[in-house]
Amino acid sequence: MEHLSLWQKFKKYNDLEAKNNLIEKYIEVVKIVAGRLYNTYGSNVEYEDLVSYGIFGLIDAIEKFEIDKNVKFETYSQIRIRGAIIDQLRNLDWVPRSVRQKAKDVEAAYQRLENTLGRSASDLEVATELNVSLQDFQNILQQINNLNVISIEEKLYDGYINQVSEQDNLSPEDVVCNLEIFKALRNSIDLLPEREREVISLYYYDELTYKEIGIALGISESRVSQLHSKAISRLKSKLNN
């Protein structure tokens, strides 16, 4: 294990110097996670702010990590760091109320249509259900993108963190509930239209940026954003069911 002597000093003796050294050793992980999220939220928050939020997650990860577990710290810490940043972004509540309402309207439209149709609803069908033009619907998808990223990452990482670690003070009911949501989410992703499923996979699992996804799929960044928003709205409607 990397930096084992530091880990042992901190875990055995609660050595503050060892803890500070571990923070310094792994600060680059914070910068990597903050950099990726900045690609999504950069128009609303400064990169340095994301790093500062992430440091709290790193400290939390160092304090809760158990060195005898068969889990790589970098993997575990990225989840904690990302969670700390997302929590702070949610607390800032920088998304206008009108955008939140639009996200709820789109989610409800998908839920109504797909329950009735028994299949994935098309853009035109959702636009008609919302009583807006197709172009207006595309614009709405762009507006609600950042809000959807936050909400779905919370579910993904709440579930995943309980898969890689059992050391949190969660009740058995909490763990089961989170894992059930995570499993339902994975099953719902499998049922997405192919292009939307590709975007979700490349963004959340391969951790590509919108620009990188666009290059990989041969589409524009704005199109990636739209596909992402549609996929998340579908997933949220399915989870609510």
Q: Supply the range of the domain harboring residue 154.
A: 97-240
pLDDT of residue 167: 45
Residue type, 166: E
Same structural domain, 57 and 169? no
Same structural domain, 70 and 149? no
Same structural domain, 88 and 101? no
When mean pLDDT is compared across 22-31, 35-44, 135-144, the lowest value belongs to 35-44
pLDDT of residue 57: 94
Of 28 and 67, the one with more pLDDT:
28
pTM: 0.66
- Domain CATH for 182: 1.20.140
pLDDT of residue 166: 45
Same structural domain, 230 and 126? yes
pLDDT in tens, 135-176: 999 999 988 876 665 555 555 555 454 444 444 454 555 555
Same structural domain, 172 and 140? yes
Final residue before a domain boundary, out of 92, 116, 148: 92
Final residue before a domain boundary, out of 38, 70, 92: 92
Number of domains in the chain: 2
Other C-beta atoms lying within 10 Å of the C-beta of residue 169 = 6
pLDDT of residue 157: 52
Same structural domain, 76 and 147? no
In the chain, alpha helices (H): 4-13, 16-41, 47-64, 73-92, 97-117, 123-130, 134-143, 145-164, 172-190, 194-200, 210-217, 221-240
Final residue before a domain boundary, out of 92, 107, 128: 92
Same structural domain, 16 and 86? yes
Q: Give yes or no for residue 194 having a pLDDT over 90.
A: yes
36-59: burial string, b at 16+ Cβ within 10 Å, e else: bbbebbeeebeeebbbebbbbbbb
Same structural domain, 83 and 142? no
pLDDT above 90: percentage of residues in the chain: 43
Of 214 and 241, the one with more pLDDT:
214
Same structural domain, 88 and 135? no
Same structural domain, 133 and 174? yes
Average pLDDT score over residue span 55-75 = 89
